[in-house]
């Protein structure tokens, strides 16, 4: 295709535009097909059937995600804080890969729907009856209040985000992963420009040995 477009049949500027458009569409289609595969896979595979079922330190997992995306957060001049109580004990039984995917979706949303110099606060805490709570709060674009209910349904993207890329499947996948780990997912926003807050709860496991965290 690139070769054909570069054969002077159409002017170079126009050919470049067509190629860019095609590249963007291919990127979108591959993002969509990966997400679609995940939606279906998560429906059939329980976390305990995943090959990496283990004790997951939520503090470490969130820290790893933050270092993976540090380039983007630096470029966008975002201030991200990660706060945790008793971080070495905050362990959850589950698939590291799936939990990583769920929290990456949430943190990526906070990043991509934040404006430059935005602030993101991630707080992990104990709540009653051995539950762990993770709060991810940003002060970005926010979500129109009347759209909040639809936001975690497949392909739904709020009316204020059309300039930002996405397939509208991230939250669907996240919710499925969290619920398959016996957790809960809630999303709040006071409206346009007023930021967004996501609250996740997960059952907590207290582990005595920090180094040997593989479940047999
Ligand atoms: N932190 C946030 N701030 C503002 N809007 C948000 C936030 N998180 C989610 N949304 C809204 O919810 C919609 C659905 O989010 P979701 O993560 O499912 O899809 P997406 O980000 O559009 O695409 P992708 O599937 O690539 O993640 C978004 O399009 C956006 O309108
Ligand atoms: Mg998303």
165-190 pLDDT tens trace: 888 999 999 999 999 999 999 999 99
Note the pLDDT tens digit of each residue in 84-116: 987 667 899 999 999 999 999 999 999 999 999
Does 196 contact ligand 1 (Cβ within 6 A)? Answer: yes
Contact 196, 206 (CB under 8 A): no
**Residue 52: other Cβ atoms inside 10 A:** 14
**Residue 72: other Cβ atoms inside 10 A:** 12
Say how many Å lie between the CA of residue 157 and the centre of ligand 2.
9
Does 166 contact ligand 1 (Cβ within 6 A)? Answer: yes
What is the torsional sign of CA 35, 46, 180, 146?
positive
Per CATH, the number for 50-203 is 3.30.565.10
Helix-helix angle 170-180:96-112, to 10 degrees: 140
Say how many Å lie between the CA of residue 201 and the centre of ligand 1.
19
Contact 134, 57 (CB under 8 A): no
């Amino acid at each position: 295709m690139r070769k054909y477009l570069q054969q002077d049949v159409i002017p170079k500027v126009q050919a470049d535009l067509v190629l860019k458009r095609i590249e963007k569409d291919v990127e979108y289609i591959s993002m969509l097909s990966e997400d679609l595969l995940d939606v279906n896979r998560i429906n059939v595979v329980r976390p305990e059937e995943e090959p990496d079922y283990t004790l997951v330190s939520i503090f470490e997992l969130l820290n790893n995600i933050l270092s993976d995306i540090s380039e983007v957060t630096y470029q966008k001049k975002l201030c991200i804080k990660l706060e945790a109580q008793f971080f070495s004990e905050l362990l959850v039984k589950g698939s590291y890969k799936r939990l990583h995917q769920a929290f990456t979706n949430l943190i990526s949303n906070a990043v991509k729907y934040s404006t430059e110099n935005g602030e993101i606060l991630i707080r992990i805490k104990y709540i009653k009856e051995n539950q762990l709570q993770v709060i991810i709060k940003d002060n970005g674009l926010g979500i129109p209040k009347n759209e909040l209910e639809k936001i975690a349904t497949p392909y739904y993207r709020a009316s204020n985000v059309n300039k930002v890329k996405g397939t509208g499947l991230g939250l669907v996948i996240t919710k499925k992963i969290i619920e398959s780990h016996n957790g809960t997912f809630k999303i709040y926003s006071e409206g346009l420009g007023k930021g967004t807050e996501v609250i996740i709860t997960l059952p907590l496991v207290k582990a005595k040995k920090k180094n040997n965290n593989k479940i047999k």
